[in-house]
Amino acid sequence: MFNLNSVFLFVVSGTFIVFVLCQAIFFLIRAYREGMKMGMEKKVLMRTVKTSIAFTIAPAVSILLGVITLSKFLGLPLPWLRLSILGAITYELTAAASAAATMGISISEAITSGQIYVTILWVMTLGIIPSMVLIPLFLKKFQSGMSVIKKRDPIWSEHFMTALFMGMISAFLGVVFKDVSKGLVGFISVFIMMFSAAVMIVIGLLLKKYKIKALEDYALPISMLSGMAFSIFITGVIGG
Amino acid sequence: MKNTAELRKTIDVQEAVVTSDPFIENTHRYGRLWMGLTFLFMLAVPIVVGTYYDVHPVFKDVAKGLLGVAPIFWTVALIEIITFTPMLGTGGSYLGFVTGNLTNLKVPCTLMALENSGFKQGTKEGEIISTLAVATSSIVTVIIIAIGVFMMAPLTPILNSEFLKPAFDQILPALFGGLAVVYVSKNAKIAAVPLIFMVVIFSLIPSLASAVSMFVPVGAIIAIISARIMYKRGVL
């Protein structure tokens, strides 16, 4: 019988992950060296690395939960590969579910056929192709286009970039309100967002008064983790 | 707050640095090479697995499965490229799109790193900071998931516990609440219209939440139009 967790599949996934890890290390070292060469302060570069580590831990554990979810259907090696690099749970789960549905199988049970496994693997692979093709081909041209906007009107270009940021942030803030029609339970996400925002405001006030640099660097991880901790409390109080 | 003359001067300097820098030119070269190799590696995985097990995909099912996801996900990919590459910078874009998890991890991490450092994306310093942030975040993610995969048996009951479930279910509101304070407070005028629109649309039609990525460009377009009107009227 086909083994979803075979050593071979672990080796294939592991090799690919190590390859991408090398890529990340290459870009990290290259950027660090260039930063030092151009006279940026070492402590600024190191602080960026440290705060990025602190910020990444909680979302990475959340991604690990996605690996666990998918592993019930696809085994461990494939979700390990797809969520360590390339994808995100929303995409991978949907792609796997779409492929499974066309073959009339359920994603609640482990795959037992090699052919079904390879078919799903192809759907997941082909579904993620555009960015892998478009970025190498068009990123430079796209950036040149953005430069033209900048040259034409530098002030507007600054506002244009801010508006792009705001587009993303407003969409993810707006979606927090999706369940408000369900009554108090539907406000849980809103309360958590507000709590996280309140923690950030308190940190801002403390910063103004005490000027602790470390607090500024870790403000976002602290507010995020506080929001997550608060979610345990508020869900217990309201239910949901 | 910088006045118009100062802002224009800063931007002119940034422009001169970023468009003519050999480091950025080489970043494109290396980025294309790494991404090209990753693309080949990615295609090799199903071929190698299929060959090893001597099984071949059912092409009809691949096409049908792809038809179910491609129209949405290829569109989202295009949207993400347009929206996220200006935030991630050159090195950050090449690496970020290979390592994935952009919305929930790489983009907020980059925004935070830029904010803390005080450098703007579009400057060479901003490019260095964003690349460091994306690379570090990618490495940490790979390590944490690898630890999790190899310690799956003892970790699964803890991570799947009912006690911790709300914390992981609510990670995005917890993340974006803090981010909102930083960005919305600094750009309240530009943020107001898209934010109100999004709150109203998702409150009224909750089913749209599953397609939130599609609303990122909608929010951006609304923000750009409202910002343009305010800019023209001298309100910004």
Contact B86, A147 (CB under 8 A): no
Of B180, B166, B187, B189, the residue nearest A198 (C-alpha): B180
How many beta-carbon contacts under 8 Å exist across A and B?
532
Judged by a CB distance cut-off of 8 A, whether residue A3 touches chain B is: no
Of A115, A112, A119, A67, the residue nearest A98 (C-alpha): A119
Q: Which residues of A156-178 are buried (b: 16+ CB within 10 A; e: fewer)?
A: bbbbbbbbbbbbbbbbbbbbbbb
The domain boundary residue, chosen from A67, A101, A127 = A127
Q: Cβ–Cβ of B62/A122 closer than 8 Å?
A: yes
Question: ipTM score here?
Answer: 0.87
* A145 and A177 housed in the same domain: yes
State the pLDDT confidence band at B17, using cuts at 50, 70 and 90: very low
* A96 and A154 housed in the same domain: no
Query: In this predicted structure, what is the pLDDT of residue A240?
Result: 62
Q: Cβ–Cβ of A139/B31 closer than 8 Å?
A: yes
The domain boundary residue, chosen from A93, A127, A161 = A127
Q: Find the farthest-apart pair of alpha carbons in chain A and give their distance in angstroms, rounded.
A: 66
Q: Which residues of B22-58 are buried (b: 16+ CB within 10 A; e: fewer)?
A: ebbeebbebbbebbeebbebbeebbeebbeebebebb
Instruction: Let me know if residue A1 belongs to a domain.
Output: no
Contact B173, A189 (CB under 8 A): yes
Q: Give the integer Cα–Cα distance in Å for A61 and A41.
A: 31
Instruction: Let me know if residue A132 belongs to a domain.
Output: no
Query: In this predicted structure, what is the pLDDT of residue B5?
Result: 47
Of residues A12, A48, A169, nearest to B183 (C-beta): A169
The H-assigned helical ranges of B160-204 are 165-169, 171-186, 188-204
Q: Which residue of A has its CA nearest to B122?
A: A147
A window 94-123, beta carbon within 8 A of B: 94-95, 98-99, 101-103, 113-115, 117-123
* A151 and A225 housed in the same domain: yes
Q: Which residue of B has its CA nearest to A170?
A: B195
pLDDT tens-digit series, residues A6-38: 999 999 999 999 999 999 999 999 999 999 999
Instruction: Let me know if residue A83 belongs to a domain.
Output: yes
Judged by a CB distance cut-off of 8 A, whether residue A134 touches chain B is: yes
Amino acid at A91: Y
Instruction: Let me know if residue A214 belongs to a domain.
Output: yes
The domain boundary residue, chosen from A91, A107, A127 = A127
Q: Which residue has the higher pLDDT, B12 or A32?
A: A32
- The angle formed by the CA atoms of residues B44, B47 and B48, to the nearest 5 degrees, is 80
For an interface test with B, the pick among A32, A52, A144, A151 (most B C-beta atoms closer than 10 Å) comes out as A52
Query: In this predicted structure, what is the pLDDT of residue B19?
Result: 54
Residue B31 has pLDDT above 80, yes or no: yes
Instruction: Let me know if residue B166 belongs to a domain.
Output: no
For an interface test with B, the pick among A26, A80, A159, A168 (most B C-beta atoms closer than 10 Å) comes out as A168
For an interface test with B, the pick among A42, A44, A51, A56 (most B C-beta atoms closer than 10 Å) comes out as A56
- Which residues in chain B are closer than 8 Å to A53, comparing Cβ atoms? 136, 140
Instruction: Let me know if residue B69 belongs to a domain.
Output: yes
* A40 and A114 housed in the same domain: yes
* A119 and A51 housed in the same domain: yes
Instruction: For residue A93, give its domain range.
Output: 7-127
User: Residue B219 contacts by C-beta under 8 Å, 6 or more apart in sequence?
Assistant: A166, A167, A168, A169, A170, A171, A174, B194, B197, B198
- Which residues in chain A are closer than 8 Å to B218, comparing Cβ atoms? 167, 171
Q: What is the pLDDT along chain A (240 residues), one digit of tens a residue?
A: 789 999 999 999 999 999 999 999 999 999 999 999 999 999 999 999 999 999 999 999 988 988 888 888 899 999 999 999 887 777 787 788 888 888 888 777 888 899 999 999 999 899 888 889 999 999 999 888 888 877 888 889 889 888 888 888 899 899 999 999 999 999 999 999 999 999 999 999 998 888 777 788 788 889 999 999 999 999 999 976
% of chain A at pLDDT higher than 90: 57
Q: Cβ–Cβ of B66/A127 closer than 8 Å?
A: yes
| Domain count along chain B | 1
Q: Cβ–Cβ of A232/B49 closer than 8 Å?
A: no
| Domain count along chain A | 2
- Which residues in chain A are closer than 8 Å to B217, comparing Cβ atoms? 167
Instruction: Let me know if residue A221 belongs to a domain.
Output: yes
Query: In this predicted structure, what is the pLDDT of residue A150?
Result: 78
Instruction: Let me know if residue A2 belongs to a domain.
Output: no
Instruction: Let me know if residue A133 belongs to a domain.
Output: no
Strand blocks (E) in chain A: none
Residue B175 has pLDDT above 80, yes or no: yes
* A122 and A147 housed in the same domain: no
Of B77, B160, B171, the residue nearest A71 (C-alpha): B160
One-letter-per-residue 3-state SS of B132-152: HHHHHHHHHHHHHHHHHHHCH
* A115 and A12 housed in the same domain: yes
* A35 and A122 housed in the same domain: yes
Of A54, A229, A56, the residue nearest B107 (C-alpha): A56
pLDDT tens-digit series, residues A186-220: 999 999 999 999 999 999 999 888 877 778 878 88
Q: What single DSSP character describes residue A109?
A: S
Instruction: For residue B96, give its domain range.
Output: 1-150
Residue B8 has pLDDT above 70, yes or no: no
Q: Which residues of A207-225 are buried (b: 16+ CB within 10 A; e: fewer)?
A: eeeeeeeeebbbbbbbbbb
